[in-house]
Amino acid sequence: MAETSSLRAALIIPALNEEAVIGRTLARVPPGLYEAILVADNGSTDGTAEAARAAGATVVHEPERGYGAACLKAMAHLPPEIDVVVFMDADSSDNPAEAPRLLAPIAEGRADLVIGSRTLGEAEPGALLPHQRFGNALATFLIRILYGHRYTDLGPFRAIRAEALARIGMRDRNYGWTIEMQVKAVQHGLRVEEVPVSYAKRIGVSKVSGNAKASVRAGVKILWTVFRLAWLR
Ligand SMILES: Nc1nc2c(ncn2[C@@H]2O[C@H](COP(=O)(O)OP(=O)(O)O)[C@@H](O)[C@H]2O)c(=O)[nH]1
Ligand SMILES: [Mg+2]
């Protein structure tokens, strides 16, 4: 495995009502890998915050619902002197032990952004629903047409150099978060790599892909974001 210990890394986990799984997710984080582990609690009505704290994470609260809003709030609480930020979902779909794969290209000085690709890796049957696969294929196709970069996924598990993250100026406050980061990375000339990651069926209740209304909203927001960033250019 590549040398990652010289990097000062922080982990950000947005979480909405993930009491059932957040403790288990945090327990699978490799010890000593991160200087800080921030769980961005988005107004959960269950014991997410308590469970995260009990598992050793720092909890930041963002009352405004939205994946991006939660990530932005956590970014504002990053300790200084962090070299790289890893983003990961709370729901146990991502395998926290695979983070060194994301960090290696950055540690080796080859990449600024590393996307964990679930299509290059192995998704457990049923973990990625058909409309998610279709949405990912369409979104990555549009990025290729509009921006000339070939991504294979919009996976949530990713690592980005802290300086690059600050430079691209993330704004999206909900479902456009992942695609905004990937499009802006290309627009800003970041060195981007993808590595295969696994993807398991989540524990607990899906807030996005398993919910029809949220899936439609996410799809619309993702498409809107990919076109809007092209117009703004
Ligand atoms: N902070 C925050 N996190 C959210 C929100 N919606 C979903 N999440 C988190 O984002 C991750 C992905 O959501 P999930 O329900 O698993 O969506 P799915 O993977 O598409 O089924 C999980 O860690 C959720 O807890 C939200 O509005 N705010
Ligand atoms: Mg999920």
Q: Which residue has the least CA distance to atom 24 on ligand 1?
A: 15
The predicted structure's pLDDT at residue 1: 44
Q: How confident is the model at residue 169 (pLDDT cuts 50, 70, 90)?
A: very high
Degrees, nearest 5: CA angle 210-88-48: 70
Distance 7 CA to ligand 2 centre (A): 27
Pocket test for ligand 1, best of 29, 60, 67 (most atoms within 8 A of CB): 67
Amino acid at 126: G
What atom of ligand 1 comes closest to residue 71's alpha carbon? 1
Percent of the chain predicted with pLDDT > 70: 98
Say if residue 155's pLDDT is above 80.
Answer: yes
**Ligand 1 atom nearest to CA at 16:** 25
Q: Residue 5 has what pLDDT? A: 61
The whole-chain average pLDDT of the chain stands at 96
Report CA(177)–ligand 2 centroid distance (Å): 14
Q: What tokens appear for 221 in the block?
A: 């927001």
**Domain extents in the chain:** 9-232
Residue 160 pLDDT exceeds 60 = yes
Distance 198 CA to ligand 2 centre (A): 13
What is the DSSP annotation of 69-120? Answer: HHHHHHHHTPPTT--EEEE--SSSSS-GGGHHHHHHHHHTTS-SEEEEETTT
Distance CA(58)–CA(85), nearest Å, equals 15
pLDDT of residue 50: 98
Radius of gyration from C-alpha coordinates of the chain: 16
pLDDT at position 82: 98
Measured in Å, residue 5 CA sits from the centre of ligand 2 at 28
Q: Name the residue at shortest CA distance from atom 16 of ligand 1.
A: 206
Is the pLDDT reported for residue 145 higher than 50?
A: yes
Q: Looking at the predicted structure, is the pLDDT value of residue 233 above 80?
A: no
Nearest CA to ligand 1 atom 12: 89
Q: Mean pLDDT, to the nearest integer, of 124-129?
A: 95
Phi, psi of 98 (to 5 degrees): -90, 0
Give the global pTM: 0.96
Ligand nearest to the CA of 68: 1
Q: Tokens 């729901």 belong to which residue?
A: 91
pLDDT of residue 6: 85
Mean pLDDT of 186-194: 98
Instruction: Yes or no: say if 127 and 92 are a contact pair by the CB < 8 Å rule.
Output: no
Burial of 142 (0-12, 13-18, 19+ CB in 10 A): middle
User: Ligand 1: which residues within 6 Å by Cβ?
Assistant: 14-16, 18, 40, 42, 65-67, 70, 89-91, 93, 202, 206-210
CATH class of 9-232: alpha beta
- Residue 130: pLDDT over 80: yes
Residue 31 CA to ligand 2 center (angstroms) comes to 23
| Each residue's pLDDT tens digit, 1-56 | 445 568 999 999 999 999 999 999 999 999 999 999 999 999 999 999 999 999 99
Sign, CA torsion 185/186/191/197: positive
Q: Is the pLDDT of residue 66 over 70?
A: yes
Q: Given a cut of 80, is residue 171 above it in pLDDT?
A: yes
Ligand 1: distance of its center to the CA of 97 in Å? 20
